[in-house]
A and B are shown apart, each in its own frame.
Chain A
Amino acid sequence: MKEKEIFRKICAGDESALEVLYKKYYRMMTRLVISNNGTEEEAKDIYQDALIVFWQKATSGKLVLTSKISTYLYSICLNLWRKELERKKKLSNEEKDSVEYIDVDQEERRQIINDCISQLGDTCRRVLTYYYFDGMSMQDIAKKLEFANTNTAKTKKYKCKKKLDELVKSQYSASDFLD
């Protein structure tokens, strides 16, 4: 598959094209991290994160490609790895003199929401994730999920979101998170 073709497919939300891209530049991108004091595991993680950033920008239509995909991915990897190195450095400094603080409530709320998301049907899950994460247009969502038209997608998204809100709220009140 040529680069233009891959990019076009990714913009349309084709995940198999993302996998092709992932494979294509795996060694190149992970070596960047490994040769800069990273482990193979870290390298893989950074590359996946970079690819997901690329995916998000492409599917939301915010990306106009002015260079090769590899150049673009390389620069994202580099930035992410720099950030990660800084985070690690900061963490090792903080460890010496601070006590780790975990927001238990926040953690519990997150868990409740995750449970509710997993209770949604597959279509709802996909509509919501495509909309909120991938930033796909209603038109693209309708096409991808084979809805009759854009309006169906809009209605579906509205209903699914409402359903999720209600689920979460009912769980929250059961756990005393809402007064």
Chain B
Amino acid sequence: MSKSNLIETYMEDVLTEAEKLEFEQQLANNPELRAELQLQTDIIEAIKTTRRQDLKQKLNRVGVPPSGMAYISPRLIIGVGLALLIGIGGFLYLSDTSSVVGQQFEPRASSTFTPTLKEGNNIDNNKHDDENTVLRSPSEKQSASVEVEERRQEDTYSKTDNKTGYTTAKKVKPVAENIQKKTVEGDENTNTITKEKVSTPTVERQVSVPTVNQPSVTIPIARNRKENLGVRLPGMGFVDQRIEKVSKIEISTDNSQRKYSFHYKLTDNKLRLYGDFDKSIYEILEFNTASEKQLYLYYAGHYYPIEKQKEGIKPLKRIKDKYTIDSLSIIKDNRR
């Protein structure tokens, strides 16, 4: 048997016990044979590795669904800079559909609103103007609401000159405040039933007011005028949902830094995302109030708060609070 043949049969483990013993003795005394055996072992190992890698590559090319527990199919294609489009699109969308939503919303507003019409004159003298407006008799109401609208022109929210926003604020607030009051003064309910009919004209007039900002349907109880339009988000209180027409955030991604696999940096309206963001679609939700700005990143089914950093690049941390996630989802879905 030739040397290479002998080595191969030894490696394939097909020698008899006697042959094997003899070969191992030769190995012990022959460094050249040992080197040859090592070489053959390395070569065959490399051939196997090549094939293993080929097969793995082949399997990697097979399309399979992600096996994660919460699989969300990528329905939206919104890339870098599309925050702008969302802004304008959302604005138009809300203007178009608001009247429909308003009607759906109205019954709730009227039923909770009416009982306190009666109570208002007796109790709420020390409340601020807006509230008194609501609580006045139907005949007074009309002029009062005009007042409210006028005053709102000067409001800090007037960044977007969207009149619909103002009426929304006016309508949502009574709902919220009267829910509060009802819990305190529940025993008055029997009286209010008769008064409800009297107050109907007011309610109808409210129906004719054309708009309700869609997301406000789920807004938690609002406490003052400034909070009426928003959703409560951590660290911000209530957030105005109206969208600025022009987004000032510039977004860029960087997948070249190994150290930062899922990080971000926000400086002076420039947002840089570090890591591989090509696997799914990302979306930036931007909230502006008069004094502050809050950003959220939506990526692969999760939300991440984006905060302005002084000290550089920070990891993206998923929001786990269900309430915040729900609030953000409502806003995000309404913008589509």
- Assess whether B92 is interfacial by the CB under 8 Å rule: no
Which B residues are in CB contact (< 8 Å) with A133?
Answer: 47-48, 50-52
Contact B59–A117 (Cβ < 8 Å): no
- Assess whether B146 is interfacial by the CB under 8 Å rule: no
Which residues of chain B from 55 to 95 have any CB-CB distance to chain A below 8 Å in the complex? 55-56, 58-60, 62-69
Contact A117–B58 (Cβ < 8 Å): no
Q: A15-B58, A52-B56 are in contact. Are A27 and B42 (CB under 8 A)?
A: no
Closest to B52 in A: A52
- Assess whether B35 is interfacial by the CB under 8 Å rule: yes
Q: How many A-B residue pairs have CB under 8 A?
A: 79
Contact A129–B50 (Cβ < 8 Å): yes
Contact B66–A51 (Cβ < 8 Å): no
Q: How far is the CA of A40 from the CA of B71 in the complex (A)?
A: 12
Closest to B61 in A: A19
Closest to A178 in B: B35
Q: How far is the CA of A126 from the CA of B191 in the complex (A)?
A: 91
Which interface class (under 10, 10 to 19, 20 to 34, 35 or more) fits A? 20 to 34
Q: How far is the CA of A15 from the CA of B61 in the complex (A)?
A: 13
Contact A34–B64 (Cβ < 8 Å): no
Which A residues are in CB contact (< 8 Å) with B64?
Answer: 22-23, 26-27
Q: A133-B52, A134-B51 are in contact. Are A113 and B42 (CB under 8 A)?
A: yes
Which A residues are in CB contact (< 8 Å) with B55?
Answer: 15, 18, 48, 52, 55
- Assess whether B319 is interfacial by the CB under 8 Å rule: no
Which B residues are in CB contact (< 8 Å) with A168?
Answer: 39, 43
Point out which of B35, B55, B56, B63 has the most chain A C-beta atoms below 10 A from its C-beta: B55
Q: Mark A151-169, 1 if CB is under 8 A from B, else 0.
A: 0000000000000110011
Q: B residues touching A (Cβ–Cβ < 8 Å)?
A: 4, 35, 39-40, 42-44, 46-52, 54-56, 58-60, 62-69
24 contacts between A and B (CB under 8 A): A18-B59, A22-B59, A23-B62, A26-B65, A26-B67, A31-B67, A48-B55, A52-B56, A113-B43, A114-B49, A125-B50, A129-B48, A129-B50, A129-B51, A129-B54, A130-B51, A132-B47, A164-B47, A165-B39, A165-B40, A165-B43, A168-B39, A172-B39, A178-B35
